């Protein structure tokens, strides 16, 4: 066996949802993929934290509305306790303040439960690489929820911070605001994916942003991109 033939480690996934049938369906979809391994299930947020602590998943599929502990509190705790694990929020509702709360708590992605299986699998692979995913059909609604929470003072400070971005960083920021992944940005700008990641890391530092979700929100707020662009 050559080095190129060495099997790549599978993405370890934990499914957290209070409905057994949903967990079963997700498991069936994911276990059909050779590069994904479902390591466990949990029926509420507290159980998800316990399972993740023991099983060390790469990606956690997190329902938002669960008994005992909801997905928001669980996501916040997981992002603090297990920062390497990436949380992908799954919600039934297009406009879900609870799901947005999970994003604020540190989730790396946000998809509807009726997302096609292929899109879910692609999202898991994207998140496992350290990127983030927001369903395009949810982006404008996410912005509607987020904008009222931004203060004018912070907006002005961040507008000033834009002047510190290089031309290439502004290009990357524009495409992040449009919802593109790092891989898609790399292809669009004819850069390597690692270069895009490096640019985006500097963007977060310069704009004092905690994550990609907040970068998307800021791009809309500052008019870098607009709904439907």
Q: Residue 180 phi/psi, 5° resolution?
A: -75, 145
Residue 175's nearest CA partner among 216, 227, 119, 135 is 216
Higher pLDDT among residues 219 and 56, named by residue: 56
User: Residue ranges per domain, the chain?
Assistant: 3-144, 150-221
- Whether the pLDDT of residue 80 is over 60: the answer is yes
Where do runs of H (alpha helix) occur along the chain? 20-31, 45-55, 71-81, 97-104, 117-128, 136-146, 152-162, 167-177, 182-189, 193-207, 212-221
- pLDDT band at 107, cuts 50/70/90? confident
Q: Distance between CA 229 and CA 214 in Å, rounded?
A: 18
Domain 150-221 fold: Arc Repressor Mutant, subunit A (1.10.10)
Q: Count CB-CB contacts under 10 A for residue 63.
A: 28
Residue 69's nearest CA partner among 100, 45, 34 is 45
Q: What is the pTM of this model?
A: 0.73
Interval 194-212: pLDDT, tens: 999 999 999 989 988 877 7
Q: Report the chain's mean pLDDT, rounded to a whole number.
A: 83
With b meaning 16 or more CB within 10 Å and e meaning fewer, what string describes 72-111?
Answer: bbbbbbbbeebeebbbbbbbeeeebeebbbbbbbbbbbbb
Domain 3-144 fold: Rossmann fold (3.40.50)
For a pLDDT cut of 70, what percent of the chain falls above it? 80
- Among 13-22, 25-34, 140-149, 220-229, name the one with the lowest average pLDDT: 140-149
Q: How far apart are the first and last CA of the chain?
A: 48
Interval 4-17: pLDDT, tens: 555 678 999 999 99
- Whether the pLDDT of residue 126 is over 90: the answer is no
Task: Please answer whether residues 85 and 78 qualify as being in contact, where contact means their C-beta atoms are separated by less than 8 angstroms.
Answer: yes
Residues contacting 190, CB < 8 A, separation 6+: none
Interval 138-158: pLDDT, tens: 666 666 665 555 555 555 666
Task: Please answer whether residues 39 and 55 qualify as being in contact, where contact means their C-beta atoms are separated by less than 8 angstroms.
Answer: yes
- pLDDT band at 53, cuts 50/70/90? very high
Q: Distance between CA 203 and CA 183 in Å, rounded?
A: 17
């Amino acid at each position: 066996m050559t080095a190129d033939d060495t099997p790549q480690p599978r993405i370890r996934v934990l499914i957290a949802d209070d409905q057994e049938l949903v967990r079963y369906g997700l498991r069936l979809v994911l276990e059909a993929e050779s590069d994904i391994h479902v390591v466990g299930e949990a029926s509420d947020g507290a159980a998800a934290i316990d399972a993740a602590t023991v099983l060390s998943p790469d990606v956690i599929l997190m329902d938002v509305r669960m008994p005992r502990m909801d997905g928001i509190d669980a996501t916040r705790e997981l992002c603090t306790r297990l920062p390497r694990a990436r949380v992908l929020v799954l919600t039934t509702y297009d406009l879900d303040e609870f799901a947005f709360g999970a994003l604020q708590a540190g989730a790396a992605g946000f998809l509807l439960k009726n997302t096609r299986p292929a899109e879910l699998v692609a999202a898991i692979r994207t998140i496992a690489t350290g990127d983030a995913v927001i369903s395009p059909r949810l982006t404008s609604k996410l912005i509607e929820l987020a904008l009222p929470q931004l203060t004018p003072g912070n907006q002005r400070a961040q507008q000033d911070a834009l002047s510190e971005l290089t031309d290439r960083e502004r290009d990357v920021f524009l495409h992040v605001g449009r919802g593109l992944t790092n891989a898609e940005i790399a292809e669009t700008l004819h850069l390597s994916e690692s270069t895009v990641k490096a640019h985006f890391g500097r963007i977060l530092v310069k704009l004092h942003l905690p994550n990609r979700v907040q970068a998307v929100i800021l791009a809309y707020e500052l008019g870098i991109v607009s709904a439907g662009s």
